[in-house]
Amino acid sequence: MNTPQLLLSALALGAAYALVAVGFVLTLNAAGAVNFAHGDSVMLGGVAAVMLGVAAQAVGLTVPGIVLLPAVILIGAALGLVIGALGFLPLKDRPPSAVFVATIAIASVFEQSATAFFGPAPRSAPPVWHQGAQQPLAMIVVAAVVLGLVYLVLERTQLGRRFRALAQDREMARALGIPATPLIATAFAAGGSLAGLAGALLGHQFLVVANQGPGYMLKAYIAVVIGGWGSVPGALAGALLIALFETFVAASLSAVWAQALLYVAVLLVLLLRPQGLFGEPAGRRA
Amino acid sequence: MSRLREMATPAGVLVSVFILIAGIALARGGDSYAIRLATLAGIQALLALGYQMVFGHAGALSLAQGALFGLGAYMAALVALSAGGSGWASLSLPAAMIAPALLAAIVGAVVLRLETHYFALATLALAQLIHLGAVNWESVSGGANGLSGIPTLALFGIDAARGWPMLLVTWGLVAVIALDTAWRRAGLRGAAQDLARDHPLAAASIGIDVARHRYVEFVAGAALAGLAGGLQAHVVGVVSPDGADLAVMIGCLTAVVVGGRTRVSGAILGAILLVHLPEWFRWLENRQLIAYGLATLLMVVLAPDGLASLFDRALNVFRPRRRAPPLPALTPSATLQPVTTGPTLRARHLSKSYGGVRAVDNVSLHLRPREALAVIGPNGSGKTTLLNLVTGIARPDSGTVTLDSLSIDRAPADVVARAGLARSFQTADLPATLSTLDAVAVGAHTRPDEMARAVAWRALQRLGLEGDAATPVGTLPAGRRRLVEIARALATRPWLLALDEPAAGLSSAERAALASALSRLVANGLGIIIVEHDLDFLARVCPRGICLDRGRVIAAAPFAALRRNADVRAAYIGDAR
């Protein structure tokens, strides 16, 4: 592939990663805890897209993937709510590591359920738009529209202001009478739907495999660390950087080297700049 | 002997008896499959005991334990295969332990100081790197197919065949590790480790080197993961990338969470359940991994201390209630103050900024034994920051702090505490479930337990708290808990003591009692520096004081004069000039 083509596919990949990372940060900021099942929500979004595509074909409909996306988003939101209800709500007064362990357990349940009921073999989700060549462009457009909406909600609405208040100072937000629990539930739903959407977008080109969740989890995590813990624009930038890195290293060396060097890079970032490339100091917040 | 008694918890006895019975049953009629399963349970127990060190005792949520297990398996396989029956084969298990331990030692030096989520991410990245290596470095690891035909374990020419020999080797190692860990954690030393995990700052302030503790546990946990992996390679005869993937990690997390995060018997119990439950639930087919996840989730939510603690609580119902701790015998060495005179604390020209704010600006002070110095000033004037700079919790941007000739401005808090400068905090971080006596005795955990309790008893007496000795700390009112924290600081037998708002939350009677207790300590040779807002309280204890405003010393004088000083009044009431 030539450079413009590579750039396009890197941007498409980055757009999907950005959805994953922004969803992760939204939950992180509202709940103050890491949702480790986020990567498996991405995987299950892909599973949902595959299954919906199969179901549509079974009734004789050949529709582009974009028609299925609203349903995938709803399923993702439901998954997010399940994670919040089981892995966060009963543990909200306990140390953050309790939520961490609980969501690891949920991630494992998601992955093993997918292996058992969906099968361990990779499957392909329907393309977002009819022709394969337009797929990267369609991914970028869908992700841009959705991320634009998230931006508008965060910056221009009362809900968004409450979110930001909660993210900045949980205690103060509560003292001001901002209802934390409904907001946190909303964040889990939003995080889940962004993850599900990303899974459906990625599922055509990169296939859907039951055990791919931790990989996506790691990508979101790395994006957030690079962009600065808790920063939404940072997560977006981090996701794009990862995608560019992966695509170009994979093209010049190999996909395996792209993965390996990415992990080495994140260890180096944690070593040299634990505050992220543009963010706040690490280690201050849970 | 009391250590041994404390090691023998109900759950520990129960698990030991169960293992003994299971062993006898195996000997009387166990087939080779049952023996193999029991061996695998022992291997899982070693892995879980190792993970307990990292996640339970050090409180570091590592996600690399499964990958380190895989690394150990590959190392043992490579050594055993290339030794080919020669004497080198004895090195398979040492190699299996050393490689993960070395890797953990290198990575841990960098990532252990990171907070929970960053540490988890870093270890996850490490795990993924190991897994990538296993899949893709085909010339060494055999790629996706892995390595097969691994010979049985050979130690110095003696062949530990699969079956009984391997079972005994494995469970022998489990017994050694479990007893050693239980021994190291019995009594106050375990309480000190728990404090280091739950309240690192408080632990450092009584002289515990928290960073070292975390590092040692992380490296030892990695070595145990490798040992378990090496044994697994010899028992199963094949290794593949599956042995290094996240499922192994989830399994060992499950074992530790279900059994009990900090309980040795819990790790073993969790491991046995993890290996044997799938056998009992065959009808689940390959879906037992779903059940693992659900079980972990349920335990985290409903019984975060794990099965071992549930057993203990259930079995304690049948035991007579624990009587109040006996009055420790007072030995001469249990006195609090040294007979000789301690060092003088000198801070010179200390400055510290946070962001653009000068929290402490060119502050100097000195404090000798038998002296009490008050530090007053409005909220946000830098009083607590000053204490943090002096006690090694924060580092000054410029200026020096010395204890006689010893420079402590770059020393970490635990070194400062061991040099004889103890402190209390505004939030008393105490282990809620311990008795007050033991919570204080943790301050003297480096001594034998009986001696430490005697020191603690004396410290409680000094502050008039001996009536609370048997009460669980968590049930005391907030003000009293802070007195307990001061008693814990005293139990380190300091030369000098730094107190941060000790009178807050106390009734006026308690304040008066604390003031006279502190005065007696000073008369006996202790030097005290007190940050406090209650000026009447300070007037009873401190002959002189300094007043800070916006980080600067605006007045230093005998305390009575300090209270009358116009600048001090202006700083407190607002600039009226």
The tokens of A157 are what?
């609405």
Contact B294 A105 (CB under 8 A): yes
Nearest chain A residue to B297, by CA: A102
| Residues in chain A within 8 Å Cβ distance of B133 | 260
Task: Write out residues 52-81 of B within 8 Å (CB-CB) of A.
Answer: 59, 61
Q: Which pairing describes strands B527-531 and B372-376: parallel, antiparallel, or unpaired? A: parallel
A81-106 tens-digit pLDDT:
999 999 998 888 887 778 888 998 99
Task: Write out residues 94-113 of B within 8 Å (CB-CB) of A.
Answer: 107, 110-111, 113
Report whether B121 contacts A222 (CB < 8 A): yes
- Whether A75 maps to a domain, the answer reads yes
The tokens of A239 are what?
């996701």
Contact B293 A108 (CB under 8 A): yes
Per-residue confidence (pLDDT) for residue B336, from 0 to 100? 52
- Whether A13 maps to a domain, the answer reads yes
- Whether A257 maps to a domain, the answer reads no
Average pLDDT, chain B: 86
Q: How far apart are CA B521 and CA B293, in angstroms?
A: 55
Residue type, B44: Q
- Whether A239 maps to a domain, the answer reads no
Report whether B70 contacts B244 (CB < 8 A): yes
Least confident of A50-64, B164-178, B281-295: B281-295
Nearest to B391 by CA among B417, B373, B428, B372: B417
> B33 phi and psi, to 5 degrees?
-70, -45
Distance from CA of B293 to the nearest CA of A (A): 4
The range of the structural domain enclosing residue A163 comes to: 3-210
The dihedral sign for the CA sequence B456, B461, B463, B466: positive
Residue type, B498: A
User: Is pLDDT of A281 > 70?
Assistant: no
Query: Is the CB of B254 inside 8 Å of chain A's CB atoms?
Result: yes
Distance from CA of B469 to the nearest CA of A (A): 28
Where is pLDDT greater, at B304 or B456? B456
- Whether A282 maps to a domain, the answer reads no
Nearest to B169 by CA among B158, B182, B180, B183: B158
The tokens of B183 are what?
């021994």
Per-residue confidence (pLDDT) for residue B79, from 0 to 100? 92
User: Is pLDDT of B148 > 90?
Assistant: no
User: Is pLDDT of B321 > 70?
Assistant: no
Q: How far apart are CA A137 and CA A11, in angstroms?
A: 9
A6-54 tens-digit pLDDT:
888 899 999 999 999 999 999 988 888 889 999 999 999 999 999 998 8
User: Is pLDDT of B259 > 50?
Assistant: yes
Report, as an integer, the average pLDDT of A208-230.
Answer: 87
The Cβ-side half-sphere exposure at B334, using a 13 Å CA radius, reads: 20
Q: Give the start-end residues of each E strand in B330-436.
A: 345-354, 357-367, 372-376, 398-403, 406-407, 421-423
The reported pTM is 0.87
Per-residue confidence (pLDDT) for residue B330, from 0 to 100? 52
- Whether A227 maps to a domain, the answer reads no
Q: Is B219 exposed, middle or buried (0-12, 13-18, 19+ CB in 10 A)?
A: buried
CB burial of A130-149 (b: ≥16 within 10 Å; e: otherwise) equals eeeeebbebbbbbbeebbee
B153-187 tens-digit pLDDT:
888 777 778 888 899 999 999 999 999 999 988 88
Nearest to A36 by CA among B56, B435, B353, B63: B63
Per-residue confidence (pLDDT) for residue A282, from 0 to 100? 39
User: Is pLDDT of A158 > 60?
Assistant: yes
Nearest chain A residue to B295, by CA: A105
Distance of CA B524 to the CA centre of its chain: 33
Q: How far apart are CA B179 and CA B173, in angstroms?
A: 10
Which region, left, alpha or beta, applies to residue A217 given φ > 0 means left and ψ of -120 to 50 means alpha?
Answer: alpha
Per-residue confidence (pLDDT) for residue B559, from 0 to 100? 86
Per-residue confidence (pLDDT) for residue B12, from 0 to 100? 86
User: Is pLDDT of A286 > 50?
Assistant: no
B17-73 tens-digit pLDDT:
889 998 888 888 878 888 999 999 999 999 999 999 999 898 888 999 999 999 999
Domain tally, chain A: 1
Distance from CA of B30 to the nearest CA of A (A): 32
B487-539 tens-digit pLDDT:
999 999 898 999 998 888 888 888 998 998 999 999 888 999 999 988 899 99
Query: Is the CB of B300 inside 8 Å of chain A's CB atoms?
Result: yes
User: Within chain B, how many helices (H) and strands (E) appear?
Assistant: 24, 12
Cβ-based neighbours of B477, under 8 Å, separated by 6 or more: B505
Contact B61 A259 (CB under 8 A): no
Which region, left, alpha or beta, applies to residue B507 given φ > 0 means left and ψ of -120 to 50 means alpha?
Answer: beta
Domains defined for chain B, CATH in brackets: 2-316 (1.10.3470), 332-420+494-573 (3.40.50.300)
Share of chain B above pLDDT 70, in %: 94
Output the CA angle A190-A195-A200, nearest 5 degrees. 125
| Residues in chain A within 8 Å Cβ distance of B110 | 267, 270-271
User: Is pLDDT of A277 > 70?
Assistant: no
Contact B257 A101 (CB under 8 A): yes
> B440 phi and psi, to 5 degrees?
-75, -40
| Residues in chain B within 8 Å Cβ distance of A108 | 250, 289-290, 292-293, 296
| Residues in chain A within 8 Å Cβ distance of B129 | 260, 263-264
| Residues in chain B within 8 Å Cβ distance of A222 | 121, 125
Per-residue confidence (pLDDT) for residue B340, from 0 to 100? 61
Give the confidence band of B260 by pLDDT, cuts at 50, 70, 90. confident
- Whether A47 maps to a domain, the answer reads yes
B12-24 tens-digit pLDDT:
888 888 899 988 8
In sequence order, the β-bridge partners of residue B544 are B373, B558
Least confident of A226-230, B24-28, B554-558: A226-230
B116, B133, B292: residue with CB nearest A100: B116
User: Is pLDDT of B332 > 60?
Assistant: no
| Residues in chain B within 8 Å Cβ distance of A218 | 121, 124-125, 128
Q: How far apart are CA A277 and CA A242, in angstroms?
A: 13
The angle that helices A65-83 and A38-58 make with each other, rounded to 10 degrees, is: 140
The tokens of B289 are what?
């991994």
- Whether A223 maps to a domain, the answer reads no
Query: Is the CB of B115 inside 8 Å of chain A's CB atoms?
Result: yes
Q: How far apart are CA B178 and CA B194, in angstroms?
A: 18
- What secondary structure letter does DSSP report for B147? B
CA distances from A56 to A109, A283, B10, B102, B439 (A): 27, 48, 59, 54, 65
Distance linking the first and last C-alpha atoms of chain B: 69
User: Is pLDDT of B425 > 50?
Assistant: yes
Q: How far apart are CA B129 and CA B125, in angstroms?
A: 6
Q: How far apart are CA A193 and CA B480, in angstroms?
A: 49
